[in-house]
Structure 1
Amino acid sequence: MNATTLPILDLARYFNPAERDDFLQQLRVSARDIGFFYLINHGIEENLQRAVQQEARRFFALSDDQKQQVAMIHSPHFRGYNRAASEITRGKPDWREQFDIGAERPELSLAQDDPRWRRLQGPNQWPDQQPALKETLLLWQKSMTEMALVLLRAFAEALRLPADAFDALYGEMPNEHIKLIRYPGQQDGAQGVGAHKDSGFLSFLLQDQQRGLQVEVAPDRWIDAAPLPGSFVVNIGELLELATNGYLRATVHRVVSPPLGEDRLSIAFFLGAQLDAVVPVYALPEALAREALGPESDPHNPLLRDVGWNYLKGRLRSHPDVAERYYRDVLRERTEQLIV
């Protein structure tokens, strides 16, 4: 609560038997007390990181007409490009343009009684003018998933659970989500992205040199997560907080727009469970269980243990235009439930 900067965790220590226990202790304390940390020596090649950033810059440099060809409004799977002020956080537009991709999988057929979150699976959209973008991002996605699953096993051990405790939630089809984000400069330093918690399990952020990310370490007390070369900023999502009954902490964070005339490039990777998974509350050892605070849930946006419905709920709130085009049946059902 009194932190002035994020802790730095070295993943290489996890693979060193002499340092493993100290690393797990640091991981548990960092994730419980702050819910955010820098991760270094994570194993993602520097050349691949640079290639991802270069391709992101090239994408955002395309003309608006070219980017609109892969606009999210064309995708029932919530994949594609959004102009600044298109995504909504806590009822306000975020001043960022972005490009979302997920796992490259075929669209699922949908029977009358199937849950509507099955529409979330499907192919990505890719700009014809930039063929290298697909290859680069899918390679990065694969590398990030492998690394993130290693870190999740470390979390299980840090919580004194079996190392494979979370494996069943992920299986062969984890929910992999990449978001390329460009924050244009604003004179008044307005909302780049509003204060929020991430909804999944683990989030990883690759930053450029521009500041902007802030973490709420205590009520109304924010610290900067300044760029640290060679690192990811890692944070806990709400479903991991839920799975540990609030022992681990999903922390509110925001991004302040850069000054006018500058911009900020961030590349986020979100690891979530399979869409058909149901998140249990894991039985922690008694000493840890006593310290669990219970998960915090926004009464206006409550957490659901059903992963597919929880993810779809968040997408519908963030992208009302896509929701209106492809999910009118879900919106109608929600309206009817409210009336009843």
Structure 2
Amino acid sequence: MTDAPETLPILDFRRFDGTAEERRLFLADLRDAARGPGFFYLTGHGIPQELIDDILRLSRRFFDLPEADKLAIEMVHSPHFRGYNRAGFEHTRGKPDWREQIDIGSEKIARPTDPAAPPWRRLQGPNQWPAALPELQPSALRYLNEITRLGIRVLQAFALALGQDADVFEPIYTPKPNQLLKIVRYPGREKAAGDQGVGAHKDSGFLTLLLQDVQGGLQVEGARGWIDAPPIPGTFVVNIGEILELASNGYLRANVHRVVSPPAGTDRLSVPFFLGAQLDAEVPQLALSPELAAGARGLTQDPLNPLFREVGRNYLKSRLRSHPDVARRHHPDLVDATKAAEPASAY
């Protein structure tokens, strides 16, 4: 007999707001999920289904636009790494990812150029929105606000699961966390053409909340190989980012994952949200209880993806590596600093 394939746990977030005993058991399950695959499905999350349906509907409408309308907001026009990318224009570990996508963040005014300022200050700026689909902007920003609120509550649950105050991370994400929303389409293709929808990587923020449509493709690195994470209606897939690994000295560990391209004749839509700390923050190391500290595994040592406690430095590293065309056009003075290491983290 063969072992059954590994699967990801499913956690009901309503238990977090239940009785004291329900919360205690939920936090224990959360800790186990985070210590195991580092990924889980979250149900009972409270995001309205009509908002979820709306963002998926508008995502499909955007990708159905003529190419000229999409290229009008191509990311290469934005020094802040916002806007549209054609398939093959984002890279993970030096290889092109076969997906088209829009990157959206919080709407902010671009800072004046200051050569003496930290380079990550250049990341602040406005989004690019498609003139051919004006409905996308209000819907995406509403979704961004709602998913950010949920992400912060999940982050508070992680803090409690680590024996900390719920708001222990508040100093590094207030007054507003770093937000990145991607609206992604993976075109189907023949296996002979390659299957890298997104190459194997880790996420750099606190955590990621992923909305999937109906087509699978996400895979998580497990003890016995890749674990499939097919879509489950009414759920988000949640995973840990490098900030939580840094803060917990590896008690929580950001896990490797990838997306395999769907078969030819199909495609896959997904909307991942990445919750990060403020770019001017430094990630603290939490004082864990002796019991939890004994289980801390230390930080991942990957020479191709060094971890920095300076949030802006860590995030800028990922942006420059993932989007070499934007880096060359808008930040040529920073490109040389990243040549020594191959691209690693996609976010």
TM-score past 0.5 threshold? yes
Counterpart for residue 315 of structure 2: 311
The answer as to whether partners of 1:3 and 1:217 remain within 8 angstroms in 2 is no
Does residue 49 of structure 2 align to residue 53 of structure 1?
Answer: no
Alignment of 1:194-213 (within 5 A): 194-213=199-218
In the alignment, the residues of structure 1 paired with residue 6 and residue 269 of structure 2 have an alpha-carbon distance, to the nearest angstrom, of 24
Alignment of 1:84-233 (within 5 A): 84-188=87-191, 190-218=195-223, 221-233=225-237
The answer as to whether partners of 2:197 and 2:259 remain within 8 angstroms in 1 is yes
Structure 2 counterpart of 1:28, one-letter code: R
In the alignment, the residues of structure 1 paired with residue 33 and residue 5 of structure 2 have an alpha-carbon distance, to the nearest angstrom, of 10
Shift of 1:330: 1.6
Counterpart for residue 298 of structure 1: 302
In the alignment, the residues of structure 1 paired with residue 337 and residue 132 of structure 2 have an alpha-carbon distance, to the nearest angstrom, of 40
Per-residue CA distance 1:280-310 (angstroms, 9 max, x = gap): 1111111000100011132022111111111
Q: 2:275 aligns with which of 271, 294, 303?
A: 271
Structure 2 counterpart of 1:302, one-letter code: P
In the alignment, the residues of structure 1 paired with residue 90 and residue 339 of structure 2 have an alpha-carbon distance, to the nearest angstrom, of 22
Counterpart for residue 286 of structure 1: 290
Structure 2 counterpart of 1:208, one-letter code: D
Counterpart for residue 6 of structure 1: 8
Q: Give the 3 Å change call, closer, same or farther, for CA 26–87 of structure 1 in structure 2.
A: same
How many residues were matched structurally?
Answer: 336
Structure 1 runs not aligned, ≥5 long: none
The answer as to whether partners of 1:33 and 1:249 remain within 8 angstroms in 2 is no
In the alignment, the residues of structure 1 paired with residue 219 and residue 304 of structure 2 have an alpha-carbon distance, to the nearest angstrom, of 23
The answer as to whether partners of 2:97 and 2:196 remain within 8 angstroms in 1 is yes
Does residue 263 of structure 2 align to residue 259 of structure 1?
Answer: yes
In the alignment, the residues of structure 1 paired with residue 148 and residue 338 of structure 2 have an alpha-carbon distance, to the nearest angstrom, of 33
In the alignment, the residues of structure 1 paired with residue 217 and residue 300 of structure 2 have an alpha-carbon distance, to the nearest angstrom, of 25
Shift of 1:49: 0.2
Alignment of 1:42-81 (within 5 A): 42-81=45-84
Taking structure 1 as the reference length, what is the TM-score of the superposition?
A: 0.96
* 1:54 match: secondary structure: helix
Per-residue CA distance 1:131-189 (angstroms, 9 max, x = gap): 11000000000001111111111111111011111111101121010001100001106
The answer as to whether partners of 2:321 and 2:338 remain within 8 angstroms in 1 is no
The answer as to whether partners of 1:34 and 1:249 remain within 8 angstroms in 2 is no
Counterpart for residue 243 of structure 1: 247
Per-residue CA distance 1:166-218 (angstroms, 9 max, x = gap): 11110112101000110000110611111111111100110011111111112
* Root-mean-square deviation (Å): 1.6
In the alignment, the residues of structure 1 paired with residue 187 and residue 281 of structure 2 have an alpha-carbon distance, to the nearest angstrom, of 37
In the alignment, the residues of structure 1 paired with residue 17 and residue 249 of structure 2 have an alpha-carbon distance, to the nearest angstrom, of 28
Counterpart for residue 334 of structure 2: 330
In the alignment, the residues of structure 2 paired with residue 205 and residue 100 of structure 1 have an alpha-carbon distance, to the nearest angstrom, of 14
In the alignment, the residues of structure 2 paired with residue 134 and residue 168 of structure 1 have an alpha-carbon distance, to the nearest angstrom, of 29
Structure 2 counterpart of 1:312, one-letter code: L
In the alignment, the residues of structure 2 paired with residue 333 and residue 234 of structure 1 have an alpha-carbon distance, to the nearest angstrom, of 32
Q: Give the 3 Å change call, closer, same or farther, for CA 115–3 of structure 1 in structure 2.
A: farther
Per-residue CA distance 1:249-282 (angstroms, 9 max, x = gap): 2111111111100000011000000010000111
In the alignment, the residues of structure 2 paired with residue 328 and residue 115 of structure 1 have an alpha-carbon distance, to the nearest angstrom, of 15
The answer as to whether partners of 1:176 and 1:269 remain within 8 angstroms in 2 is yes
* 1:294 match: secondary structure: coil
* 2:221 match: secondary structure: strand
Counterpart for residue 343 of structure 2: none
Q: Give the 3 Å change call, closer, same or farther, for CA 334–179 of structure 1 in structure 2.
A: closer
The answer as to whether partners of 1:205 and 1:267 remain within 8 angstroms in 2 is yes
In the alignment, the residues of structure 2 paired with residue 330 and residue 268 of structure 1 have an alpha-carbon distance, to the nearest angstrom, of 27
In the alignment, the residues of structure 2 paired with residue 320 and residue 261 of structure 1 have an alpha-carbon distance, to the nearest angstrom, of 30
* 1:278 match: secondary structure: coil
